[in-house]
Amino acid sequence: MPMKILKGTVISNKMNKTVVIAVERVFQHPFYKKTIKTRKNYKAHDEENRCQIGDVVEIIESRPISKDKRWKVLRIIKEGEGQ
């Protein structure tokens, strides 16, 4: 089965080798047909600590690395302004 790939923005890089990615999803409500925007946070493994706050990255599903870390940073798509 192919692994899922998601695209999101780095919102925290305070942990060692871990970043928090906010992934936004836009969909239409099945009954009311209103457009809904939801955001979910994922913890992803960043081996070289390269990601900065504001970067747009791709993450890929992986085996469990820790209690709540099941994603790895695949690549940095666009570098943000950083802090």
pLDDT in tens, 41-57: 999 999 999 999 999 99
Q: Where does 5-78 sit in CATH, by number?
A: 2.40.50.140
- Contact (CB, 8 A) for 40 and 23: yes
- pTM beyond 0.75: the answer is yes
The amino acid occupying position 83 is Q
pLDDT recorded at residue 80: 82
pLDDT digits (tens, 9 = 90+) for 13-25: 999 999 999 999 9
Between the two ends of the chain, the Cα-to-Cα distance in Å is 38
